[in-house]
């Protein structure tokens, strides 16, 4: 049998054996049937991509493996939702002339997701310092006062944030 066919067969049986179980697992955590089905589907897509890129993949504990992948997707999903909720709330606060058009909103939201991905691992103070500088254009002196740290610490925070962003941008996820 050609290798591709073997992968397909292995993957088919993985799907058949565990799909229902995985959907149930996700549904219990999310309380939402259709999101659970979507995320289970995404989980298998990831696993399939992994199957193809590695020449072999021995799954000793398939369910542990599937839940690891699913957990990560679930966190992504929740973060996406929390970001979108914050976005909608912030939009409602803007005065009429400052509200971006629908097309712009889509672009802004995508950019926010990308920036969020770069920033989410940073300690809160580092992230706040970075955003005050990059979004609000505050000087390091003002940031230092806001965060009650000294200017050297602000400079260190900034370097840390730039380092993290560049690493993620250049190395991919």
Partner 1 sequence: MNNYTEERVNSRVINEAADWLARIHGKALSEEETRAWKQWLKQSPEHQRVWSSAEQLAHQFGRIEPTLGISVLDRPRTGISRRKLLGIITALTVMPSATWFGIQLFRANTFNGYRTATGERREVLLADSSLVVLNTASALDVKFNGEYRSLQHLSGEIYVKTSSDNVELAKLPFIVETENGRLRALGTRFAVRNDEFGTRISVFEGAVEIVTKDTLSTVVVESGRQVMFTSRAVGELTPIPVGSDAWKDGVLYAQGMRLADFTKELTRYRVGLLYCSPAIGDIPVSGAFQLADTDKILQLLADTLPVKIDTRTRYWVTINPL
Give the other-Cβ count within 10 Å of 147's Cβ: 17
Query: Phi/psi at 58 (nearest 5 deg)?
Result: -95, 115
Q: How far is CA 94 from CA 11, 57, 87, 111, in A?
A: 49, 51, 11, 18
**With respect to partner 1, which residue has the nearer C-beta, 1 or 137?**
137
When asked if residue 116 is in the footprint of partner 1 (CB under 8 A), the reply is yes
Nearest partner of 165 among 109, 112, 121, judged by Cα: 121
When asked if residue 167 is in the footprint of partner 1 (CB under 8 A), the reply is yes
Nearest partner of 48 among 81, 95, 13, judged by Cα: 13
Nearest approach in angstroms of CB 58 to partner 1 is 13
When asked if residue 16 is in the footprint of partner 1 (CB under 8 A), the reply is no
Nearest partner of 42 among 79, 64, 71, judged by Cα: 71
When asked if residue 71 is in the footprint of partner 1 (CB under 8 A), the reply is yes
**C-beta pairs of 143-150 under 8 Å, 24+ apart in sequence:** 149/125
The stretch near partner 1 (CB under 8 A) out of 2-10, 12-20, 28-36, 121-129 is 121-129
Nearest approach in angstroms of CB 32 to partner 1 is 18
Q: Which residues bind partner 1 (CB under 8 A)?
A: 46, 49-50, 53, 68-69, 71-72, 75, 78, 82-83, 86-87, 89-91, 93-95, 97-98, 100, 107-108, 111-112, 114-116, 118-121, 124, 127-128, 131-137, 139-140, 151, 154-156, 158-160, 162-163, 165-167, 169-173
């Amino acid at each position: 049998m050609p290798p591709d066919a073997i992968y397909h067969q292995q993957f088919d049986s993985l799907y058949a054996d565990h799909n229902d179980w995985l959907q149930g697992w996700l549904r219990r955590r999310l309380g939402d049937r259709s999101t659970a089905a979507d995320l289970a589907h995404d989980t298998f897509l990831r696993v399939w991509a992994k199957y193809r890129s590695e020449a072999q993949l021995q799954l000793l504990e398939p369910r542990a493996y599937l839940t690891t992948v699913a957990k990560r997707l679930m966190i992504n999903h929740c973060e996406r939702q929390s970001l979108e909720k914050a976005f909608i709330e912030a939009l409602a606060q803007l005065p009429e002339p400052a509200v971006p058009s629908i097309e712009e909103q889509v672009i802004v939201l995508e950019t926010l997701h990308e920036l969020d991905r770069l920033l989410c691992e940073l300690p809160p103070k580092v992230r706040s310092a970075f955003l005050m500088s990059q979004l609000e254009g505050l000087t390091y002196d003002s940031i230092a006062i806001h965060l009650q740290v000294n200017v050297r610490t602000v400079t260190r925070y900034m370097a840390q944030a730039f380092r993290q962003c560049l690493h993620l941008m250049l190395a991919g996820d």
